[in-house]
Each structure stands twice: as C-alpha cells, then as structure tokens.
Amino acid sequence: MRILDRLLSSVDRISPPLTAHAHCDLPCGVYDPAQARIEAESVKACMEKFNGSDDAVFKERAVAIKEQRADLVKHHLWVLWTDYFKPEHLAKHPQLHELFWKATKAAGESKKTNDPKVAQGLLDQIKEIDTLFWETKKA
C-alpha cells in the first residue's frame, strides 16, 4: 500500500466524514426592494440636478453617479430576482419574469438619458415589485 493511501485510510478511521448542511441564501429578512428603490431615487435626483445646472463639470459628475446608481439598481433587482423569488412565487405571480425584465431594462435605459420621466418609470416598476414582494412575505 502506498504511503498516501495509508495516510488517507487512517484519517477515515480517526474521524468519520461530516455531513454539512447549508442554505444557498438567507430568506429570513435580508432581502428588500427598498435597496433598489433608494438607488433609483438617486438616479432620478442626479437627472434632476443635471438638468438644473449649467456647470459642465457638475453635469459630468452627475452623469457618472447616475450611471453607478443605475448599475446598483440592476444589481439589487437581480439579487432579489435570483435569490429571493422561488418557483412558488412565480406560480402565484406569473408576471414576475416580465416585471423584473422591464425594470432591469429601465435601469439600463436610465443610463442613456437624463430624462427624469424615465427614472420615474423605473421607480414605478420597482413599486410593483415591492408590492408583490411583500405579498409573498405574508404567505
């Protein structure tokens, strides 16, 4: 018997294999659409500040911050969609796929414009997600 085989077999006799139990996410209160909403409010505020300024440097900074916040909106929506919502939620709310798709697309569109109406549309979609999210929490 090779030395490595002997060492490995002796480890098996000394300590039996352990069974690990884990959960892939934490559905116990760590998810909340408010994170996406707060970032979307920042997107809208940056657009409004951009439109209200004549300072080119300020406007450039507003655009940079708006784009970062729009990416964070997408991130928070994706985490909520992929980690929180389960097949049973989709069965009760079949519009979830389209709602998340439209909201993440709206977050991406908000990077291409400084029209606060686009940001407001994003906020409206997040509000719909929020409503459905809290309905699932009641169940």
Q: Which element (helix H / strand E) includes 117?
A: helix 116-138
CATH H-level, domain 28-138: superfamily: Nickel-containing superoxide dismutase (1.20.120.400)
Question: How far, CA to CA in Å, does 75 sit from each of 36, 87, 108, 134?
Answer: 8, 21, 11, 19
Instruction: Provide the pLDDT for residue 23.
Output: 41
pLDDT per residue, tens digit, the chain (139 aa), is: 577 666 566 555 555 556 654 444 455 568 899 999 999 999 999 999 999 999 999 999 999 999 999 999 999 999 999 999 999 999 999 999 999 999 999 999 999 999 999 999 999 999 999 999 999 988 6
Domain boundaries, the chain: 28-138
